[in-house]
Structure 1
Amino acid sequence: MDLTEKQQEFFDYLKQRLRRDGKVPSLRRAAGDLGISHTAVAQLLAQLEKRGAVRRAGRYSRTIRLLSGRGANPPISPIAREVPIIGRITAGLPMYAQQEWDGSVVVDSGLFGGDHLFALRVSGDSMRDAGILDGDLAICEPRQYAEQGEIVAALINHEEATVKRFYRRADGIELHPENHDYPVLRYGFAEVLVQGKVVGVVRSDHPSFSRTGRSGEKKR
């Protein structure tokens, strides 16, 4: 690879972090470690991609791979993916098209597959028995439909986001909590818009968990 001195230094930094931590740092962490701006990190990544040193998979999920050579060579190792935390669900727009990000969280790309993942910050303990706790991030795959019994991120009456287990009945939609202290929520078909399927959870003590902003889910 024909890299400039700055590009080579940045590439070596990424390799070192990958070997030490098992993942490549977020853009924010890289900027802090190197004492440069977030924009400068993004520009260096774009330059490395152009020269075949890294490969970015997906515009929104920000998954990146280090390459051992030109772009046709196999990757050295998959890096962690940076998943945006959605501060608020907007009706009618796919999650990955929204700009209301509330920070981001870095997750293991081997554990969280799928395209355009997003995260919702959970408030309350209504899904406690499903292992989704107050303050956690629910990692979701964008989807506008749900199978019976799936845990989904749903928009209620075009304004309130919630994470619940989905059931379609003959006369409407039921959203079930996973905590006996909370009632089953029942709505008409037009009142519920499924926005994503929950594919995993990041605990609030995760080292890359973002604590800025407010939750997109109200306590229910």
Structure 2
Amino acid sequence: MAPELTPGQQRLFDYMKKTIERTGRSPSLRQAAGDLGVSHGAVSQHLKILEQKGVLKRQGRYSRTIHLIGPIGNKAAVQRWREIPIVGRVTAGLPLYAQQEWEGSLVLDSALYRGQHLFALRVQGNSMRGAGILDGDLAICTPRQYAQNGEIVVALIHGEEATVKRFFSHTDHVELRPENPDYAVMRYGFDEVLVQGRVVGIQRVMETG
């Protein structure tokens, strides 16, 4: 049996549904408040009540992704999208999802990308061209502080420089291997490299105009 909604709650739910269908992403609280002509606090309160009533589910503290729930408890087909942050800089010592230096966000198909706390990092250079990763691509990553040999990872070198390379661990060093013969293999001591995530996909940003 579907939960009973007040007119205000139903209006917000219908607005969320139409916006997600049209844009593929959940609107921000500020946008929803402006479009509906209500306060930011009213939108926030209605969302909390709608979640308590089981008609929507918010995904994580650091994501504004909202899943609309169908009458039998399944996520509505419209809500196949999720939004993840584009990281401006990888910082050692903090979980990626807790960092605040974002450069926008990226909308993904949630059927393809199911991991928790995914983030995107913009690739610089063509050192991974052989793996189909080009300059300016967005590497979609799952946070992880370890890697298996051969995996493509985001590694932090000397606590400062983030790079996307193929990872190999040897008895006395770590090898970060490019996929382009024009670039040299990088070798570091174990204390010089911190794995921050594994690359699980690539999004190419197409230029228009």
TM-score, normalized by the shorter chain, greater than 0.5: yes
Task: Determine whether 1:199 maps to 2:193.
Answer: no
Q: For residue 27 of structure 1, give the secondary structure of its aligned residue in structure 2.
A: coil
Report the more deviating stretch, 94-103 or 167-176: 94-103
Do 1:138 and 1:200's aligned partners in 2 also have CA atoms closer than 8 Å? Answer: yes
Q: Is the 8 A contact 2:20 2:26 kept in 1?
A: no
CA offsets per residue over residues 130-174 of structure 1, 9 Å max, x none? Answer: 121111111110000000000001100000011111011122111
Higher relative contact order (CA 8 A, sep 6+): 1
2: CA distance, partners of 1:153 / 1:42: 37
AA in 2 matched with 1:88: R
The alignment's C-alpha RMSD in Å is 2.9
- 1:54 positional shift: 0.5
Residues 112 and 36 of structure 1: CA distance in aligned 2, closer, same or farther (over 3 Å)? farther
8 Å CA contact 1:126–1:177 kept in 2: the answer is yes
- Report Cα offsets for 1:29-84 as digits up to 9, x if no partner: 99289377995697254342233220123333554321124xx7222234311101
**Residue 58, structure 1, aligned to residue 60, structure 2:** yes
SS in 2 for 1:76: coil
- In the alignment, structure 1 segments of 5+ residues that lack a partner are 208-220
What pairs with 1:135-150 in structure 2 (closer than 5 Å)? 135-150=136-151
State the secondary structure of the residue aligned to 1:34. helix
What TM-score do you get using the length of structure 2 for normalisation?
A: 0.83
> For residues 155 and 26 of structure 1, what CA distance do their matches in structure 2 show?
32
Partner of 2:103: 102
SS of 1:16 mapped into structure 2: helix
Corresponding residue pairs, total: 203
Where does 1:79-158 land on structure 2 (aligned, <5 Å)?
79-158=80-159
Shift of 1:3: 2.8
TM-score in terms of structure 1 length: 0.79
Please say if residues 84 and 102 of structure 1, whose CA atoms lie closer than 8 Å, have aligned partners that are also in contact. Answer: yes
- Does the residue aligned with 2:18 lie in a helix, a strand or coil? helix
Contact 1:139 / 1:201 at 8 angstroms: preserved in 2?
Answer: yes
Distance in 2 of aligned mates of 1:37 and 1:203: 37
In our comparison, the structure showing a higher alpha carbon Rg is 2
Q: 1:194 to 1:29 in 2, by over 3 A?
A: same
Q: CA deviation at 1:179?
A: 1.3
- Tell me which stretches of 4 or more aligned residues in structure 1 moved more than 4 Å: 17-21, 35-42
In structure 2, how many angstroms separate the alpha carbons of the residues matched to 1:18 and 1:4? Answer: 21
Is the CA contact 1:137–1:204 (under 8 Å) kept in the aligned structure 2? yes
Give ranges in structure 2 of 5+ residues lacking alignment: none
